[in-house]
Amino acid sequence: MGQAFCCIQVDQSTVAIKETFGRFDEVLEPGCHLLPWCLGKQIAGYLSLRVQQLDVRCETKTKDNVFVTVVASVQYRALADKASDAFYRLSNTREQIQSYVFDVIRSSVPKLNIDDAFEQKNEIAKAVEEELEKAMSMYGYEIVQTLIVDIEPDQQVKRAMNEINAAARLRLAANEKAEAEKILQIKRAEGDAESKYLAGLGIARQRQAIVDGLRDSVLAFSDNVPGTSAKDVMDMILVTQYFDTMREIGASSKSNSVFIPHGPGAVADIASQVRDGMLQAKTQK
């Protein structure tokens, strides 16, 4: 309707390409413009200046022979001061950008192993952006940003990578469990050693107390009962301990002791053997 009155409207963030008898004339900015069609003036087309996004999926192979699909997202826009180049010089902008993305990805990813490809996503995106910026600037386009949004290996490769990761974590857990068991055994051994040490101290003190008590008993008996010798006192103490032991064994309901035939007179023989052994030891020294 506007062209019937020789007027056209160009929307915001858009430019119009004006031609005169099929030849480029000028770029019309947003607003209302006079277009006398009777003089051969016409609009060849419109060009958006908004940022556009193109997602490119590229299949390639890594250095360790793993096929992956790299998904790149390219954000670009036409430049207002180069609108004529952007309109006339490229017939299909999206396919042109896609071709450059394929070229860069398929030349950079094969130099990396699969693990390095995941770690160097930013470097790959930077290489793609630099190549696109250099190539598309001559056609009137600006590359705003390039992102590598995903790297998708084959499902079997994913499963293998997950199994490797799981195995590594299980190995780490086993090492930690073994280390904990080792610490537990060390602590248990230290506790057992400390317990035995304290038990040894207790036995030593018990025996020392018995010796001290016997010595005091012998001295006290010798002083209070004139005419008795140390041998008589020791024999009496041994007989007393013998009867005390027999009483304790008989009082136990769960005793499994085996008695060898003997009599109280054997106590004197035991005492004699002890004295003889001590005398022989002193003689050998």
Does residue 44 share a domain with residue 60? no
Last residue of a domain, one of 95, 121, 153: 153
Final residue of a domain: which of 138, 153, 168?
A: 153
Instruction: Summarize pLDDT for 140-181 with one digit per residue, the tens.
Output: 999 999 999 988 887 777 777 777 777 777 788 888 888 888
87 assigned to some structural domain: yes
| CA atoms of 186 and 163, how far apart (whole Å) | 34
Domain CATH for 57: 3.30.479.30
The residue type found at 18 is K
62 and 148 share one domain: yes
Q: What is the pLDDT of residue 53?
A: 93
Give the mean model confidence (pLDDT) for residues 123-142. Answer: 90
* Whether residues 30 and 119 fall in one domain: no
pLDDT, tens digit (0-9, with 9 covering 90-100), for 191-215: 888 888 888 888 888 777 776 776 7
C-alpha span between 36 and 20 (Å, rounded): 10
* 221-244 pLDDT, tens digit each: 666 666 666 666 666 667 677 777
Structural domain ending residue among the three candidates 106, 123, 153 = 153
Provide the domain count of the chain: 2
Residue 273 lies in a domain: no
Q: Which of 52, 35, 46, 131 is nearest to 83 (CA)?
A: 46
Q: Are residues 71 and 138 in the same domain?
A: yes
Q: Which domain holds residue 94?
A: 52-153
**Is 129 a member of any domain?**
yes
Q: Does 198 reside within a domain?
A: no
pLDDT digits (tens, 9 = 90+) for 4-31: 557 888 888 899 998 888 888 888 888 8
Same structural domain for residues 96 and 119?
yes
Which CB contacts under 8 angstroms, 24+ apart, belong to 51-56?
51/75, 51/76, 51/77, 51/144, 52/76, 52/77, 54/94, 54/97, 54/98, 55/149, 56/97, 56/98, 56/101, 56/102
